[in-house]
Amino acid sequence: MNESKIVATKRLQSEGLWNEASLYREEVREHLRGEGMTRKEANKGAWEKMLEAYPPFDADDEAAHWLSACDFPPADVSTVEPGEPSLADLWYVLCVLSAYRAYETSSEGLQLVAYAHQKSSSAQVRSWLSLLIASAELFCGEVGEALSAKIARLEMEDQQAVVTELRTHEQGLAGV
């Protein structure tokens, strides 16, 4: 176990997962007892299994996941209206935002945004990421507006799977 029981308990309570994790631990304990383990062995094994099933959040893993997703938008929507950003550009900045949020407001998050800014060849993406570095509130307003327009157009083109994916990010923009 990497976490002590008390640290894990407090973490799971703060994440709102304590009841769910406790039920899981009880089920595992009963199963292990049914297999012939002593009560002490079953308790220890149940805690270990619970902590495997409910691990602590890893900001580095979360950020890496979103950074690797940047270059893979949910669909190839090649038609772009004049003055409208491409789906690939919107997807890129939304993924960078999700990676940034993994670090909350720490310096690692800003370093990640700076790296993504440098990596992108799109002037639109670089502009939005510069705005994110300067003001998360302005970023959310501008990207939210572009995202809403893109969603409206994709709904007219019957791209429902893409719309559903983008709506999740649209709701997340309000939380910055």
- SS3 letters for 115-158? HHHHHCCCHHHHHHHHHHHHCHHHHHHHHHHHHHHHHHHHHHCC
Q: Are 114 and 96 in contact (CB under 8 A)?
A: no
Domain locations in the chain as residue ranges: 5-53, 59-173
Give the model confidence (pLDDT) of 66-113 as tens digits.
888 887 877 765 656 677 788 888 888 888 888 887 776 567 788 888
Give the model confidence (pLDDT) of 127-159 as tens digits.
888 888 888 788 888 888 888 888 888 887 777
Residue 24 has pLDDT above 90, yes or no: yes
Q: Are 102 and 90 in contact (CB under 8 A)?
A: no
Name the DSSP class of 86.
P
Predicted local confidence at residue 39, as pLDDT = 95
Find all residues with CB under 8 Å of 71, minimum gap 6, and list them: 92
Buried b (16+ CB within 10 A) or exposed e, 75-104: eebeeeeeeebbbbbbbbbbbbbbbbbbbe
Residue 23 tokens, joined: 């039920």
